[in-house]
Amino acid sequence: MDQLLQGLRAAAEPTRLRILALCARSELTVSDLTTILRQSQPRVSRHLKVLVEAGLLQRLREGTWAFYRLADTGEAAGLARGLVGFVPAGNDVVARDLERLDAVKKARADVASAFFRSNAGQWDSIRRLYIDDEEVERALLSLLPRQDVHGLLDIGTGTGRILEVFGQDIRRGVGIDLSREMLAVARVNLEKRGLLNCHVRYGDMSQLPLTDETFDAVTFHLVLHYAEDPEMAVREAARFLEPGGTLVVVDFAPHEEQNLRTEHAHRWLGFDDGDIEAWFRAAGLSPGRNIRLPGKPLTVCLWSATRNGVAASRTAPAVEIEARP
């Protein structure tokens, strides 16, 4: 009852209702909101503080920046969604807010597109070394069927592609990445797809910016080879996996492409089955099915494991899928 009353008191102010309506549609900074609301930064910050303390908004740190979004966890999350539903989009003030929000989102998209274009050549040069991304995604979906995933944690989310793959079918998705530029691209991609149930956060895979949140699926998509200590990263991810949940690592089999280390900052030149499965067991997970996708010269592997599930045999058989021409 106290949480409900605090939430109602926090929202009982015109500007704070406008903020809730805006943050239900996009993750926004204080700067974004001052531009949209045409109010001073101190005033907007005070309103945000009240809404966060009431549990109606989440504050997500990203270096010196902070993004605000409508709460999707906690006691007040349902109240926040309900209140937004009562805000009339046809109201003149709200309609102007939404027009300015579109302008903010367009400016954000322009910046993200510029970053993506400037790095497209580098990413394409790596993609040419392995099987097509669509094949990898199909293999991932065979290990994590969409209908079985309700809450997804995607570590090293990059452009947010894995969140896009699952986003239409899950209740909630969270992507973590250490690149602010990549997070900007991911936010734009998720907004374009209308995936308001998914969001991204700044953070390191060795120390995830999460508290008591849990997920029934966790993915590492072609990112573990950047980790200084991949075993620690797997153990950290397993802490947020629900009993019966599945963790999938997508990465390269051992290879000799030294240029990926020298030119693309890869810390590890692939992983073998034994190491990955040992890390799973050390993290309290039971290794499951593996899939191999042969490529030239890189082979992509998908390793799966379950928390508190039925243990697989010590050497879980790998399934090799023929690469399509």
The per-residue pLDDT of the chain, averaged, comes to 88
Range of the domain at 88: 2-100
Q: Are residues 175 and 261 in the same domain?
A: yes
Query: In sequence order, what DSSP letters do the residues of 236-273 get, joined into one string?
Result: HHHTTEEEEEEEEEEEEPS---THHHHHH--S-S---H
> What pLDDT score was predicted for residue 90?
83
Res. 15: pLDDT tops 90: yes
Q: Are 15 and 90 in contact (CB under 8 A)?
A: no
> What pLDDT score was predicted for residue 180?
86
Q: Are residues 157 and 269 in the same domain?
A: yes
> What pLDDT score was predicted for residue 207?
92
Q: Does residue 259 sit within a domain?
A: yes
Q: Are 268 and 255 in contact (CB under 8 A)?
A: no
Looking at the DSSP assignment, which residues form a beta bridge with residue 218?
153, 247
Q: Are 285 and 306 in contact (CB under 8 A)?
A: yes
Q: Are residues 214 and 302 in the same domain?
A: yes
β pairing state of 57-62 and 65-70: antiparallel
Q: Are residues 271 and 174 in the same domain?
A: yes
The dihedrals phi and psi of 142, each to the nearest 5 degrees, come to: -70, -25
> What pLDDT score was predicted for residue 323?
40
- Please report, for the domain that includes residue 27, its CATH number: 1.10.10.10
CA distance 255 to 269: 6
Q: Which residues are CB-contacts of 273 (< 8 A; sequence separation ≥ 6)?
A: 290, 301, 303, 315, 318
> What pLDDT score was predicted for residue 262?
83
> What pLDDT score was predicted for residue 61?
83
Q: Are 150 and 129 in contact (CB under 8 A)?
A: no
Q: Does residue 7 sit within a domain?
A: yes
CA distance 235 to 230: 9
Confidence at 46, pLDDT banded by 50, 70, 90: very high
The dihedrals phi and psi of 151, each to the nearest 5 degrees, come to: -125, 120
CA distance 224 to 216: 20
Q: What is the pTM of this model?
A: 0.76
> What pLDDT score was predicted for residue 121?
59
* Longest CA pairwise span in the chain (Å): 64
- Residue finishing a domain among 47, 82, 100: 100
Q: Which residues are CB-contacts of 175 (< 8 A; sequence separation ≥ 6)?
A: 154, 155, 157, 160, 162, 163, 183, 186, 198, 199, 200, 201
The domain total for the chain is 2
Q: Does residue 173 sit within a domain?
A: yes
Rounded mean pLDDT of 73-83? 88
Confidence at 116, pLDDT banded by 50, 70, 90: low
Query: Which residue has tokens 């954000």?
Result: 108
CA distance 217 to 145: 10
Q: Are residues 145 and 43 in the same domain?
A: no
The dihedrals phi and psi of 75, each to the nearest 5 degrees, come to: -65, -30
